[in-house]
A and B are shown apart, each in its own frame.
Chain A
Amino acid sequence: MVLFRLIAIALALAGLHAGAARADAFDEALTGVRGGYAQVTRGAEALAATGDPRAVDVLNALSEGRLYTAPDDGPIGIGTEQGGDIRLVDPRDGSELGVFGSRDVERIRVNNRVRGAVTAAMGRLQLSSPDPGQRRAAVDGIVREPSPEAAEQLRAAIEREQDTGVRGAMTFALAQIELQTGDREQKLAAIETMKASTDPQARAALGAVSAATAEGAPGADAELHEAAEDAIASVDRTREWLNLLLNIYQGISLGSILLLAALGLAITFGVMGVINMAHGEMIMLGAYTAFVVQQVFRAYAPGAMELYLLAAVPAAFLVSGAAGIAIEQSVIRFLYKRPLETLLATWGISLMLQQAVRLIFGATNQQVANPSWMSGGIEILGGVFLTYNRLIIIVFCLIVLAVIALVLRFSTFGLQMRAVVQNRDMARTMGINTARVDALTFGLGSGVAGMAGAALSQIGNVSPNLGTQYIVDSFLVVVFGGVGQLAGTLTGAMGLGIVNKLLEPYAGAVLGKVLVLVGIILFIQFRPRGLFVLKGRAAEA
């Protein structure tokens, strides 16, 4: 393998002087990309070693599974699908090789090993790519195969680099490589660079140096060892703080999901006193609305797919809200003041809704795709990764909360609603149509649950029993926070989320959940009305 690569490099170097020789090297390397996974891996490495710009396309096609051998062991071509057939293009000169049936051409199969080797090989080729994203990816590739030459290439690239983010990644990668292949001075400098890093890889790299230079080890070096140990201590201190902050962030993120799930319930249960067991199914309806909207967009407006979620949220509000009003009008309004019966009736409704959705959409999960602006995430510090979908849901949740608070505080409907809650008879005497207010309040609570469903479809399952996954958590939040208070719901959700996430790393996910549950049971013993208690005559009754 080494010999092969040396030959390829030699050929590539020769290619710098003679264009013809370079073309030959590329041709030759290209023919090597076939056979078993091991051969393909070697072929890909040889191809990258030619340094030929055409190799980038070939390697990309290879890792995406679009590289084919033309019939009868013919030339290798990059394929594009064309109505079930494969159109092959010769990567050497861009000429057309023809259109073949998918069974006639042989696809060059790749596995993780090949893909990993391709990423590493692409590292060298793309270090000077005009796209910062590709340069960043190239850095990840280079670290996979550390060598003094790679370090040299990186140093040159750092000189040229304008983008600070990519530059930081390059500096860190260079330090990583120098720690392994550099001389003593370089190693000391690299340790200094690592010291300031929060990346868990830094900890590992320093650990390796420390072990290799410890007393008694073959490469014993007291100064290096001490520097490494010192750096490890410093990295560990920073990481401890960072982990705490990360856990709190994850707690807020979990809390925002609990809050979204519970907000609608806080309105129907907290404000109206209706124990709505079908609340989870309102969330489910919202999630399925998001799925349907996605399918509609896919069918009629594929160009606007990225924006389907913006349409799905209000649609989910309307669908779930309408379903909520229908349930209130047809069942619940006959059962006010009889909480046990509403509990049973709404539970029955929840089962019916689940079965209805199962009949229409099937029992299996539906695929709701994240739009690209909601997939992936951002690494704000080494090892601290925030995903976009969670960030957006936190913001979305706060917006929904603010809108509800404003509606309750400033709109006529909000005023009437609060009046009905405080004293229903007095409100009716004042000319408020309480039946209408009840229906609208229930609609609002259900609609909010629907929006929550549209949001939750972005992180979890969309299946007929989606609702049951959130109903228990929702009731916990509302009861813990205090009935009938938005502030209580907010504090309850965030409190539960954060406590849960702080416990999880130490107790594990299962025990953590149990501990939170036990905690709530104890808490309710001492404060049966939850964190925030609604004041007023009606509430005391």
Chain B
Amino acid sequence: MSWQLPRLATAALAAAAALTVSISAAMAQPAPIKIGILHSLSGTMAISETTLKDAMLMLIEEQNEKGGLLGRPLEAVVVDPASDWPLFAERARGLLENDQVDVIFGCWTSVSRKSVLPVVEELNGLLFYPVQYEGEESSRNVFYTGAAPNQQAIPAVEYLMSEDGGGAERFVLLGTDYVYPRTTNRILRAFLNGKGVTDADIMESYTPFGHSDWQTIVAEVKEFSAQGKQTAIVSTINGDANVPFYKELSNQGIDAADLPVVAFSVGEEELSGIDTSDLVGHLAAWNYFMSVDTPENDSFIASWHQFTGNDRRVTNDPMEAHYIGFNMWAQAVEQAGTTEVDAVRQAMYGQQVKNLTGGVAVMNTNHHLSKPVLIGEIQADGQFETVWETDGVVKGAAWSPYIPESAKLTADWTYPWVCGGCETPKYAITN
């Protein structure tokens, strides 16, 4: 019976929370709209995810100051899945069944999202997932506000191969050993092969989560890059392992002009733990950089500093994804006049929110956003300077055309497709 304990504890906590809310909010208030926040506040991913929890709390507070939604106040329900993937599923179930939340914002790693997926599909919940990922997925119950591979990995590699990017001909694919890097690198390898890069010119290497001893791998990469052709490193290293990786790079004297690293999982937050003066010129590809100079971004940063009470806190891409996702959801709720999941989902398609970096993000019927792609170089102050960006927005593709099995698939949740991954139109939801 021990499995009941956490749920009992959650229920007790929820009851206590509900009690305090009902006492303070008096009887006149209408029932609040509940928003579940499912981000690790402890464990190895806490570094990245705690910030997203704070960002969501800020967005909810701002919305409440504007009078909430549908005349009802918003209430955050924060849980801590502790970087433990099965716990993500359990907490998501708790949020939907016990707390009866109307929507969930959460997850970072792909394994956590894959754990939550069956739960939100079974209970018909709604999850907003804010992080760039490997694609190859489109669920009726998930809106993907981070980048798909065609909005990050492919443009980044195209840039590296261009004259401005150094004209790379050899590639080192370094990643953490789990589904996101492996799938991304599979797509990249197929893409590179299509561009005439042979397998002999691609080195691929994986390391465990939290890997800290990079001497051997960096030395191997140096040797690989010394063999005549311009080389670039594509990094899908996630989380804690990045700090020792970048330290080793700068200590071994790797110069970004000779051997640039383009990272897909390193943003301002991760860099704030590293001395970046020796890393100037290394790259990252995202849909947002804190350094982008637009009025929307300025006011977002200002309210973030005010909310956290710390004017040195940085902002990053997944925060912008939450900002876009939250505002789209709020608009969809207003438009649908209800928080009921099926109605909100229908109202989501075509929703538009201004990006913080300029342009307008649009939610497509494959549950992915259209967003601009930016490539930035690390500066000595830990910020990125944009060196390249797409002319307009790029539509996120759920299925990669570079993997043969998925090239045939379409994701579209409007008539006549109504399906997240099928080859021929389907008229009803199959599951």
Contact = CB atoms under 8 A, between A and B. Distances in A.
Interface of A: 37-38, 65, 109, 111-113, 115-116, 119, 199-201, 203-205, 207-208, 246-247, 250, 253-254, 257, 354-355, 358, 362-367, 369-370, 375-377, 383, 385, 387-390, 459-465, 469, 501, 504-505, 508-510, 513
8 contacts: A111-B281, A112-B281, A119-B255, A200-B222, A383-B222, A385-B252, A504-B216, A505-B220
B228 A204 contact: yes
Nearest to B44: A465
**Which are the 3 A-B pairs with shortest beta-carbon distances?**
A365-B273, A116-B257, A200-B226
B215 A250 contact: yes
B43 A465 contact: yes
B251 A388 contact: yes
A509 B51 CA distance: 30
Given A203-B227, A461-B244, A510-B177, A367 B41 contact: no
B272 A365 contact: yes
B279 to A, nearest CB: 12
A376 B270 CA distance: 21
B244 A459 contact: yes
B256 to A, nearest CB: 5
Contacts of A375: 250-251, 278
B61 interface: no
Interface stretch (B68-76, B200-208, B361-369): B200-208
Interface residues of B, number: 58
Nearest to B230: A116
A250 B251 CA distance: 15
A369 B243 contact: no
A383 B226 contact: yes
Interface in B269-322: 269-270, 272-275, 278, 281, 283
Given A115-B257, A200-B223, A459 B247 contact: yes
B47 interface: yes
B212 A505 contact: no
Contact of B251 (A355, A363, A369, A389): A389
A377 B50 contact: no
B272 A367 contact: yes
Given A200-B223, A460-B212, A465-B43, A509 B205 contact: yes
B121 interface: no
A185 B257 CA distance: 33
B227 A204 contact: yes
Contacts of A109: 385, 387
B47 A463 contact: yes
B227 A367 contact: no
B47 A364 contact: yes
Interface in B221-253: 222-223, 226-228, 240, 243-244, 247-248, 250-253
Given A250-B216, A383-B222, A469 B210 contact: yes
Nearest to B49: A363
A201 B231 CA distance: 13
Contacts of B273: 364-367, 461-463
A297 B270 CA distance: 24
A178 B258 CA distance: 21
Interface in B28-78: 41-44, 46-47, 50-51
Contacts of A205: 228
B166 interface: yes
Contacts of A505: 216, 220
Contacts of A370: 247, 251, 275
Contacts of B240: 365, 461, 463, 465, 469
Contacts of B79: none
A115 B240 CA distance: 29
B213 A254 contact: yes
A385 B253 contact: yes
A318 B222 CA distance: 40
Nearest to B177: A510
A465 B284 CA distance: 26
A510 B243 contact: no
B164 interface: yes
Contacts of B44: 465
